Structure 1
Amino acid sequence: MGSRCFVSLRSTKRIQDIHALSTRRIHASNTAQFATPLDQPVSTQAKKSKERLVILGSGWGAMSLLKGLDQTRYEVMVVSPNTYFAMTPLLAQAATGSLELRTTMEPVRGNHNIHFYHAWTEKIDLEKKTLTLMPAYPPVFRQKDPTSTNHYPNAREYSLSFDKLVISVGAYNRTFSTPGVRENAWFLKDVQNARAIRWRILECFEQADHPNLTDDQRKALLNFIVVGGGPTGSEFAAELHDLLSSDLKRLFPDIVKFASISIVDASAGILNNFDASLATYAREKFARDGINVMLNRKVKAVERGNLVVEPDGEIPFGLLVWSTGICASPLVKRTNSIAKDDGNSFFLTDDHLRFVEDVYAIGDCAQIQGKFLPATAQVASQKGKHLAHVLNGKMGEDPEADEKVFKHRDMGSMASLGSGSAIVDSPNAKAQGRIAWVIWRSAYTYMSLSWRNRLLVPFFWTINRLFGRDLTRF
């Protein structure tokens, strides 16, 4: 009896030891999902057969680099708060239902030879060659204490080392410190912005359709304002006009007459980066379409449902899209170890697109010292392709790029004006009207990064042309 009791006690103790060991392993496993061997500096890691190349961002520069990079030469890691690439020239069409949102996106994980981290970059340490990252999503584990903001307080931030680093984090919308912009305006820089704008357009019409509203209230709800007369703002205004004059006219025949579109700009013209004759053509086209172009206006504030502009005073709106240029991202602003431009705080690189050895910057977050290049998808894409040649070690094999100095090739600019019309301004030729519209559509179909979207884009254009846009609000 005593022997059995002793054996039982010993067995119980062994079970308790196993349970305690399992608990420790589970806790260590949960913590390890954030604290991995990656947070060891390069010098303390085991020898690697490949250099680790870390790319920050998933925009035009980063994706063009990935497409041209010989990924067998490096251990490639991509860090971005977005799991997709956004085809920015098509966002205006996605926001107005001419294209489905999926046609403007390419998954980053579609590049199968990379390791992707869905995270924000909090800090860049060039001396130690490490990055401090923060996951771009809430913890996946369930917190035991519902009042706790983080069950593992030391596990959220983690480090990632690199041998070579490419910074391509893009830029943010510039508001010129105008009060109320971030709280009351909509931006059009990402797929999520396009979805929010589409939802808001339909919401304005649904609200205006109620019988207890006055005509003045309907006019206020259906007044759509675009601040900024550049390509993005102008294209959105044109696409919105097409939406109003076709599908929304059919769905809301009694109230569409109250709708209006205005472009507000501080300068004396719109589309100022185009040839003067093309910009004039665009303004005349907008005038015929009934789009009100308000120039030499100074925006004082954006209130909820009201734009305060000088000298017109308060202008009521249902939707205001802010498109007035870009500014440096928070990461760029707080990184003081890298030279920056005094005017816009963007990173400054040399002609090789680098700050120091093995650290490069491309896209909207950086500019070449002594040179001014527009912050466009074209420039970012060319920088990405050039850097891919450099990192592949094939500069000498390309007769057009026999040195590592970046040389921008101006391919021109395009803008869609709606109703089957566009303008094209290139060094070789200028076009307007239907021919330019065909060039615009052909070019951006081809520029889609995958054959999937090269097929989907014209497919949805055709479907929507035949059957109308799908304007279901969900």
Structure 2
Amino acid sequence: MPANRHVARQTRTQRLPCTVASITIQRPETKGQKPSGHNLPADGSSQVLDKPRVVILGSGWAAVSLVKALNKSASKQYDITLISPRNYFLYTPLLPAVASGTVEERSIVEPIRKIASGKGRYFEAVCESIDPNKRTLVACFPQDVGLAEACFKVPFDLLVLAVGSVTNTFGIEGVEEHCFFFKDISDAHRLRRHVSECFERASLPATTPEERRSLLSFVVVGGGPTGVEVAAELHDMLLEDMRRIYPALMSDVHICIIDTHDHVLSTYDRAISEYASNEFRRSGIEMVLHARVSAVHSSAVDVVHEDGRVTELASSTTIWATGVAMHPLVKQLQEKLPPGLQTHFRSITTDEYLRVKGSGGTIFALGDAATIEQDKAMDHASELFERADTHHHGKLNLDEVRAIVRAASKEYTQFKEYLRFLDGHCGAKRFGGMVARSLQAAHLINQPHRKPAADDPLWGDLAFDEQTQLTREQFTELLRKIDKGLRALPATGQVAKQQGEYLARLMATSQLAPSQPLPPQVKPFHYRHKGQFAYVGRDRAVVDAPLAKAAGISTGLLWRSFETISQISLRNMMLVSIDWLRTKLFGRDISRV
């Protein structure tokens, strides 16, 4: 054990009893614990407070938005404890800018203790386990994970689970060993150092041409907002800084982005995606689409294309910007809740008030860690069939199916995804194709298979006779298909922020307590999508918002302004503003520190 860690352990052990006494947290083996229904003030006095103990796990968007939105008056109704192994909030949208050196690391972080000041206490610790029945959790300092004697118990009346998600490698060979992930500030720091190292190695006389090409090839896996912004920031750094410092190496520089869809930014409006693709082509960024990575090596990436071909791309820098998986703590909690209630493979399931199913209302889950349960339309197939069968023929034609999907979209949000199929001839044709394909898969109709159209890879442009009528069984199968495609809210900071603010309002307006029902006037959580930006390089950005869609240099200026004013503190706003200006005036600092 390193000497400095030993000293830290000694210091922590000497100071722990004072901390334990202040909040009635004790080691698992310690006896003489205060009754679980009471807790002590944070100042260490012996006065017992009759307040619900609220423990918040996490320091990301959901947890921090909850704490910031909860005013000090409302926070005095609860005894709040924050626990997270990361003692700062990270403004994740600017991580790509940090990786390129456009923005400095400390400009987008804010200490958790500063955010929680006056509202609760904070422990820099990892939660190792949660006991939902005893309403306790076990935690320890991050470097002491696995040491039972270093752990302590924290009792709670209400638990807020906001631990986020982890990167999903999909079990692909070499991803863990050779890829750069993009979840934390350390990931951006490591990538920034690595890019500088690649250029320094490539400039050495002993480096062969093959090694130089590999060192200066950068592959980004994932064409979503993160992947696109990483590729764009890398391109800006190479164009504006590396070209000036390493002019002889630029002919070997290559940036490539790989995605399984037929276009980047697939969740954005198609016109926005096309603009981003055109910008990348103009910038010389290669896009390998309709393809997936099958293996990652130290200096190459294996790519499987749509037609089954396998090619190898040279790359000493592979950035993994795709896929999220369930946090291990969430999986562990799922297994401790009543069987049958938690079956989601990616998140823990909550009700519409963000309460974890099976927890008796004592656990709330926010952000990437959670998904809100949606009512399955298939369970109400008979009722929907009767509503749609206005002529009482016992069968539904395609017009009646379209009508019920549109009418029931407010009750069953999963229908909203298909509303775009319902307008115009093309939309009707595609919706008919979706119906035909789902019923054919269930062997309920015979329909010759056709290759999906390139512009509609999900369902294809299959023709379907407008006069065809669906039986009750076929209609039920159609609903099953739609239910199977249920998608939770997107794993974005925007969703987590709104959920944190919702729970803060709930805590402020209602005295939350275990096994206590919510007041009847409480409204369920409702997500309001406000749009999303993406930086595409060369001072240009795109925005896909409900009221407007835009792209270009002016949108790039709007993007910078938005990212600046969205910082969590005035200090961060000032630092980010200075970083934008510094980069424009003096360029990026490429020192490997």
For 2:330, the equivalent position in structure 1 comes to 332
Query: Aligned equivalents of 1:436 and 1:303: distance in 2?
Result: 38
State the 1:215 CA deviation.
2.0
More strand by share: 1
Task: Name the counterpart of 2:122.
Answer: 116
Name the aligned partner's letter for residue 218 of structure 2.
F
Q: Does 1:389 align with 2:505?
A: yes
Q: Counterpart of 2:159?
A: 165
Q: 1:31 to 1:168 in 2, by over 3 A?
A: closer
Distance 2:369 2:59 in 1: 13
Please give the alpha-carbon distance, in whole angstroms, between the structure 2 residues aligned to 1:402 and 1:207. 64
Deviations 1:110-142 (A, max 9, x none): 121221111111111111110011211359xxx
Cα offsets for 1:328-387 (capped at 9, x unmatched)? 011112221347764533100001001232320001000100163111110000000000
Q: What residue is the counterpart of 2:100 in the other structure?
A: 96
C-alpha contact 2:39 2:53 (8 A) present in aligned 1: no
User: TM (normalized to structure 1)?
Assistant: 0.87
1:289 matched to 2:283:
yes
Q: Percent identity?
A: 37
Instruction: Say whether the 8 Å CA contact 1:86–1:104 is kept in structure 2.
Output: yes
Corresponding residue number in structure 2 for 1:236: 230
Q: Deviations over 1:263-314 (max 9, x none)?
A: 0112222101100000000000000000000011121111222211123422
* CA offset digits 1:46-92 (Å, max 9, x no partner): 74243221100000000000001132222211110101111110000
After superposition, what is the alpha-carbon deviation per residue over 1:383-416, rounded to whole angstroms, capped at 9, x for unaligned? 0000000011169xxxxx9633101111011101
Paired residue for 2:25?
Answer: 38
Shift of the 469–29 alpha-carbon distance from structure 1 to 2, 3 Å rule, reads closer
Deviation, 1:103, is 1.2
Over 3 Å counting, the alpha-carbon distance change for 1:128 and 1:212 in structure 2 is same
3-state SS, counterpart of residue 149 of structure 2: coil
Question: Structure 1 residues 33 and 218 mapped into 2: Cα distance closer, same or farther (>3 Å)?
Answer: farther
Matches within 5 A, 1:202-221: 202-221=196-215
Q: 1:351 corresponds to which letter in structure 2?
A: E
2:332 counterpart letter in structure 1: R
CA contact (8 A) 2:298 2:316 kept: no
Indicate which of 78, 85, 99 corresponds to 1:81.
Answer: 85
- Which of 557, 562, 583 is equivalent to 1:464? 583
Aligned to 1:38, what secondary structure does the other structure show? coil
One-letter amino acid matched to 1:345: R
Give the Cα–Cα distance (whole angstroms) in 1 for the partners of residues 564 and 12 of structure 2: 49
TM value normalised by structure 2: 0.70
- Separation of aligned partners in 2, 1:402 and 1:449: 31
Partner of 2:318: 320
Is 1:276 the counterpart of 2:260? The answer is no
Cα distance between partner residues in 1 of 2:368 and 2:16 = 36
> Is contact 1:302–1:308 with CA below 8 Å preserved after alignment?
yes
Q: What residue number does 2:561 align with? A: 442
In 2, Cα distance between the equivalents of 1:28 and 1:242? 49
Indicate which of 372, 386, 403 corresponds to 2:522: 403
- Equivalent residue, structure 1, for 2:131: 125
Change (3 A) 1:402 1:378: farther
Show the counterpart of 1:190. Answer: 184
Q: Equivalent residue for 1:4?
A: none
RMSD over aligned CA atoms reads: 2.2
Structure 2 residue corresponding to 1:302, chosen from 292, 296, 317: 296
Cα distance in 2 for residues equivalent to 1:334 and 1:127: 14
Q: How does 1:139-158 map onto structure 2 within 5 Å? A: 154-158=148-152
Question: CA separation in 1, counterparts of 2:77 and 2:247?
Answer: 60
Q: Which residue of 2 aligns with 1:11?
A: none
- The aligned counterpart of 1:10 is none
- Contact 1:34 1:157 survives alignment (8 Å): no
Contact 1:34 1:155 in 2 (8 A): no
Name the residue aligned to 2:533: 414
Distance in 1 between residues matched to 2:504 and 2:143, nearest whole Å? 30
| Shift, 1:322, TM fit | 0.2
In structure 2, the partner of 1:254 is 248
What is the aligned partner in structure 2 of residue 368 from structure 1? 372
Instruction: Give the match's secondary structure for 2:336.
Output: coil
> Is 2:254 the partner of 1:135?
no
Residues 422 and 436 in structure 1, CA contact (< 8 A), matched pair in contact too: yes
> Which has the higher mean CA deviation after the structures are superposed, 247-256 or 90-99?
247-256
Distance 1:435-1:403 versus aligned 2 partners, 3 A rule = farther
1:22 paired residue number: none
Could you tell me how far apart the structure 1 residues matched to 2:312 and 2:12 are? 58
Distance in structure 2 (CA, Å) of the matches to 1:402 and 1:235: 42
- In the alignment, the residues of structure 2 paired with residue 283 and residue 453 of structure 1 have an alpha-carbon distance, to the nearest angstrom, of 32
Aligned residues of 1:133 and 1:157 also touching (Cα < 8 A): yes
**Residues paired across the two proteins, number:** 432
Report if the CA contact (8 A) 1:104-1:191 is conserved.
Answer: no
Distance 2:266 2:526 in 1: 24
CA distance in 2, matches of 1:161, 1:190: 29
Alpha-carbon distance in 1 for matches of 2:127, 2:160: 12
One-letter amino acid of the counterpart of residue 314, structure 2: P
Secondary structure of 2:68's counterpart equals: helix
1:144 maps to what in 2?
Answer: none
Distance 2:565 2:55 in 1: 28
